[in-house]
Amino acid sequence: MTLPATLIPGDGIGPEITDAAVRLLDAAGARIEWDRQLAGMAAVAAHNDPIPEQTLASIRRTRIALKGPLETPVGKGFRSINVALRREFDLYANVRPAKSILRGLRYDNVDLIIVRENTEGLYSGIENYVRIGEDEHAAAQSMAVVTRVGAERIHRYAFDLAVRLGRRKVTLVHKANILKFSQGLFLEVGRAIAEEYAGKVAVEERIVDACAMDLVVRPEAFDVLVTTNLFGDILSDLTSGLVGGLGLTPGANVGRNTAIFEAVHGTAPDIAGQGVANPTAVMLAACQMMDHAGEPEVAARMRTAIEETLRERKAVTRDVGGTATTAAYANAVIARL
Ligand code: NAI
């Protein structure tokens, strides 16, 4: 059976790194029928729309997409692409694993996954200024929205993921001691969902500030973490830093019936077109995609080949201390399959 999937090469280094990921998938035996679509600046050039209807229609049909980084055009009238995709497909779970691959960094034993709520919290977009006297911007307020339904589905996603991957623990990360209502509800729901998984996976609770410190002091103590939008955004960049930076970090955006996989980094305009970008993050996103598509053996083979090639450091790109081109590194990974 072939898997229909949408491929969005993206802007800047996007086409170079997604090409490497597509070659790796192909060599690993993933049978994917790609539907190539435009988004970002490439789509603005072609259709004057950074996220054209035909790209959305393709994802609606395939329900699975691999996406290169996109440049959101500056200026009025253009929608933020990532927000548009998240809203359109209700991609409520942002899943960002951080695993030590390279040796010789400050940490060599990190292996955790942050599950970030992607649609609510302080990023709900409900904000306003308050006028006092002559000052129209005398105050500003942003509303953190937590719904029971939203909290339930993200906690359930995290616990299901932990069970599926044989993980030992889920950490509920919150600030319910201060934000008694929004964070309080998130924690209350998390505790209830945790009970459903009692005996299958352990659970602990951490207040976000203490959690940030613990992640730096003893990251090996963490496994799966689940948290609200803002905290997840910040903590997942922190955990990327623990394992060598954004260039090695993939991210999945998952909804009830659609998922989009990507690298966490941007379009790297400073090195675009030079063939020197590191495709590891988007290759690891392709591994997440294969796990999601029910092909864990293909994902595991690709991951092992990537990790071994990186650890050997013979044919790696210059951002991780090598001299290999994007294509030469991809070839080295493929040769190890
Ligand atoms: P960036 O992540 O593109 O680049 C930051 C630095 O990291 C640069 O020095 C770049 O050369 C380096 N870098 C990034 N990925 C690399 C890779 N795979 N291999 C080697 N080096 C790599 O962040 P920046 O410069 O802030 O953003 C550039 C553009 O990307 C902006 O237009 C931004 O909107 C967009 N962007 C898109 C994202 C997405 O589509 N998911 C996410 C983040 C930014």
What is the CATH classification number for the domain harbouring 275? 3.40.718.10
Mean pLDDT rounded to a whole number for the chain = 95
Which of 123, 157, 197, 329 is flagged as catalytic?
123
Packing angle, helices 296-312 and 280-292, rounded to 10: 160
Same domain for 128 and 221, yes or no, is yes
Annotation says 291 is catalytic? no
Q: Which of 187, 209, 242 is the last residue of a domain?
A: 242
Span 294-330, pLDDT tens digits: 999 999 999 999 999 999 999 999 999 899 999 999 9
Give the model confidence (pLDDT) of 225-284 as tens digits. Answer: 999 999 999 999 999 999 988 889 999 999 999 999 999 899 999 999 999 999 999 999
Asked whether the beta carbons of 95 and 37 are under 8 A apart, the reply is no
Q: Which atom of ligand 1 is nearest to the CA of 262?
A: 41
For residue 119, what are the contacts with CB-CB under 8 A and spacing of at least 6?
86, 87, 90, 91, 92, 150, 229
Q: How far is the CA of 161 from the centre of ligand 1 (A)?
A: 28
pLDDT of residue 227: 98
- In this structure, the answer to whether residues 94 and 133 fall within a common structural domain is no
| Per-residue pLDDT at 87 | 85
- What are the structure tokens assigned to 281, written together? 């993050």
* CA distances to 1, 24, 69 from 32, in Å: 9, 12, 21
How many domains, the chain?
A: 2
Pocket test for ligand 1, best of 265, 276, 325 (most atoms within 8 A of CB): 265
* Residues 101 and 134 placed together within one structural domain of the fold: no
- 2 in a structural domain: yes
Buried b (16+ CB within 10 A) or exposed e, 5-44: bbbbbbbbbbebbbbbbbbbbebbebebebbebbbbbbbb
Confidence of residue 78 (pLDDT cuts 50, 70, 90): low
Looking at residues 101-110, what average pLDDT do you find? 90
Report residue 232 as tokens: 């997840």
**How confident is residue 69, by pLDDT bands cut at 50, 70 and 90?**
very high
| Residue 321 and residue 259 share a domain | yes
Q: Please name the residue whose Cα sits nearest to atom 27 of ligand 1.
A: 266
Which tokens in the block code for residue 306? 């990537």
Query: Quick check: is 314 catalytic?
Result: no
Instruction: Please report which confidence band the pLDDT of residue 121 belongs to, taking 50, 70 and 90 as the band edges.
Output: very high
What number is the average pLDDT over the span 177-187?
98
Cα–Cα distance between 321 and 197 in angstroms, integer?
A: 43
Is 262 close to ligand 1, i.e. is its CB under 6 Å away?
yes
pLDDT for the residue 216: 97
Any atom of ligand 1 within 6 Å of the Cβ of 265:
yes
Which ligand 1 atom minimizes the distance to the CA of 319?
20
Instruction: Residue 231: give the domain boundaries.
Output: 120-242
Q: How confident is the model at residue 77 (pLDDT cuts 50, 70, 90)?
A: low
First to last CA, the chain: 21
Instruction: Indicate the residue among 218, 242, 266 that finishes a domain.
Output: 242
Whether residues 125 and 227 share a domain: the answer is: yes
Distance, CA of 162 to CA of 41 (rounded, Å)? 37
Q: What are 132-170's pLDDT values in tens digits?
A: 999 999 999 999 999 999 999 999 999 999 999 999 999
Q: How does residue 79 score in pLDDT terms, banded at 50, 70 and 90?
A: low
**Domain identity same for 236 and 254:** no
pLDDT for residue 125: 82
- pLDDT band with cut points at 50, 70 and 90 for residue 212: very high
Tell me what pLDDT residue 103 has: 85
* pLDDT over 80 at 11, yes or no: yes
Residue 175 bears catalytic tag: yes
Query: Residue 233 catalytic?
Result: yes
Is residue 11 lining ligand 1, measured as CB closer than 6 Å? no
The reply to whether ligand 1 has any atom less than 6 angstroms from the CB of 237 is: no
Per the DSSP assignment, residues forming a β-bridge with 170 are 203, 224
Q: Tell me the average pLDDT across 62-77.
A: 87
Position 162 scores a pLDDT of 97
Same domain, 94 and 165: no
Q: Are both 30 and 89 inside the same structural domain?
A: yes
CATH number, domain with residue 144: 3.40.50
pLDDT in tens, 84-95: 898 899 999 999
Based on the domain organization, do 255 and 275 belong to the same domain? yes
| Whether residue 336 is found in the same domain as residue 312 | yes
Residues above pLDDT 90, as percent of the chain: 89
Domain boundary among 215, 242, 269: 242
- The three-state DSSP-derived secondary structure of the chain is CCEEEEEECCCCCHHHHHHHHHHHHHHCCCCEEEEECCCCHHHHHHHCCCCCHHHHHHHHHHCEEEECCCCCCCCCCCCCHHHHHHHHHCCCEEEEEEECCCCCCCCCCCEEEEEEECCCEHHHCCEEEEEECCEEEEEEEECCECCHHHHHHHHHHHHHHHHHCCCCEEEEEECCCCCCCHHHHHHHHHHHHHHHCCCCCEEEEEEHHHHHHHHHHCHHHCCEEEECHHHHHHHHHHHHHHCCCHHHCEEEEECCCCEEEEECCCCCCCCCCCCCCCCHHHHHHHHHHHHHCCCHHHHHHHHHHHHHHHHHCCCCCHHHCCCCCHHHHHHHHHHCC
Give mean pLDDT, residues 196-212.
98
What was the pLDDT predicted at 80?
Answer: 75
> Which residue CA neighbors atom 30 of ligand 1 most closely?
266
pLDDT at 244: 86
Q: Which residues of 259-276 are buried (b: 16+ CB within 10 A; e: fewer)?
A: bbbbbbbbbbeebbeeeb
Would residue 170 count as lying in a domain?
Answer: yes
111 domain residue, yes or no: no
